[in-house]
Amino acid sequence: MTLTLSLNSIGYRKLVGYRDAFRVTAIAASQGLPSQPPLSARQGAQMNRERQCVPLGTGGSTLFTSLEEMLRQAAIHFHADDPTAGLSLINEAIESFSWDPRPWEVRGGMHQQLGEIGLAINDLEFASSLGPLSPSAQLALADCYRRRGENHLCARIARQLACDPNCTTRFLSQISCLLGLVGDFSTALAVCERIIEERPCAHPAWFGIGYYRARLEFSPKQILPFVARAHELNSAHAVYKTNLALLRIASGDEREGWAILEEMDSVELRCPSLLQAVQAECARVGNATEAMRWRAQANELANGAHGTGAPQCRRRNCCLALPTAFTSVEAGEGAS
């Protein structure tokens, strides 16, 4: 395995394919990197030991630190609303450790969070030519591809991570969301099922199973148990509670479903699609009083009167009781 730029980089070819590897040379040129032959792993490790301490800051600063400390300080500055300082530190790290993929990964992640997708892709692709990307960097690159419209590359990375038994549970939720956003609902569903095997109390994953089953047009009765379990684990979640009520109604248990809706405070619900679904159900049974209550909340959300509650839901459709409603929705709202 090589530690510096190589068109034969296994990690890079595996990630985005042979043809795209030629873009790496252009990226390297644009970064002004020196041209040198690839280093072996042993040579790279030796060079890293020899240069493990580098100056931090400019102007002849006497403070020295390791790469790990530079990365840590850069992250602290970046997340403290000082991205310029964070990026400046990462640039210093790249100057001194250009053969190490980690500072390239970090800078790529920073660009991604700033919405600078082209710059993020350049850094993350180049990092992959230096060595295998970390799972978090792979997820960042996948998200960048999705946001640039290259869903096939996003899906390839997400599926590869989903199939990796060594991928930790903390990344699986993001993987499931990415797969949902690019329309691979079957794999997203499988990832949610893996999450609950490892973390049975992860209520978002239980709801995710119901969500992706709805996207795959399972019947309400086949969705209900998973949403019921999510609600059991987090009974205060208004989206879970409303879907549980609507799914019970759709499954034939109207009395129980309406009991849940009538006990709810409409202000709890900040999801336009679910408010619309509840109003439609009220109209179906001719319940004018309930319809008026839920319509008032929908109007408040539409007029921006959000109050002090949770932020308004941004998904196009959270209603799992009406799977056919998803056909008119742009593919790709993931479960969170």
In the block, residue with structure tokens 């319940």: 287
Q: How open is the CA angle 8-11-17, to the nearest 5 degrees?
A: 70
Burial class (CB in 10 A: 0-12, 13-18, 19+), 52: middle
φ/ψ (deg, to 5) at 202 = -80, 90
Q: What is the DSSP string of 176-213?
A: HHHHHHTT-HHHHHHHHHHHHHH-TT-HHHHHHHHHHH
CA dihedral 231, 232, 237, 241 (to 10 degrees): 40
**What are the angstrom distances between the C-alpha of 117 and each of 114, 148, 237?**
8, 7, 33
Q: What's the pLDDT tens digit per position in 158-204?
A: 999 998 887 888 899 999 999 999 999 999 999 999 999 999 999 99
Q: Label residue 39 by pLDDT band (50, 70, 90).
A: very low
Q: Answer whether 227's CB lies under 8 Å from 210's CB.
A: yes
Q: Label residue 305 by pLDDT band (50, 70, 90).
A: low
At 247, list the tokens: 């799914």
When mean pLDDT is compared over 23-32, 90-99, 120-129, 269-278, the highest value belongs to: 120-129
What residue spans in the chain does CATH classification 1.25.40.10 cover?
Answer: 10-37+48-133
Distance between CA atoms of 207 and 233, rounded to whole angstroms? Answer: 10
Q: Answer whether 92's CB lies under 8 Å from 74's CB.
A: no
Report the pLDDT value the prediction gives residue 120, as an integer from 0 to 100.
96
What value does the mean pLDDT of the chain take? Answer: 78
Q: Label residue 5 by pLDDT band (50, 70, 90).
A: very low
Q: Label residue 74 by pLDDT band (50, 70, 90).
A: confident
Q: Residue 268 pLDDT > 90, yes or no?
A: no
Burial class (CB in 10 A: 0-12, 13-18, 19+), 235: exposed
Distance between CA atoms of 210 and 230, rounded to whole angstroms? Answer: 9
Q: Residue 49 pLDDT > 50, yes or no?
A: no
Report the pLDDT value the prediction gives residue 320, as an integer from 0 to 100.
85
Report the pLDDT value the prediction gives residue 312, as an integer from 0 to 100.
63
Q: What's the pLDDT tens digit per position in 201-258?
A: 999 999 999 999 999 999 999 999 999 999 999 999 999 999 999 999 999 999 999 9
Higher pLDDT, 330 or 155: 155
Q: Answer whether 169's CB lies under 8 Å from 321's CB.
A: no
Q: Answer whether 212's CB lies under 8 Å from 335's CB.
A: yes
In the block, residue with structure tokens 């990796």: 164
Higher pLDDT, 19 or 48: 48
Report the pLDDT value the prediction gives residue 318, as an integer from 0 to 100.
80
Distance between CA atoms of 247 and 50, rounded to whole angstroms? Answer: 64
Q: Residue 57 pLDDT > 50, yes or no?
A: no
Q: What's the pLDDT tens digit per position in 319-330?
A: 887 644 443 333
Report the pLDDT value the prediction gives residue 311, as an integer from 0 to 100.
57
CATH number of 10-37+48-133: 1.25.40.10
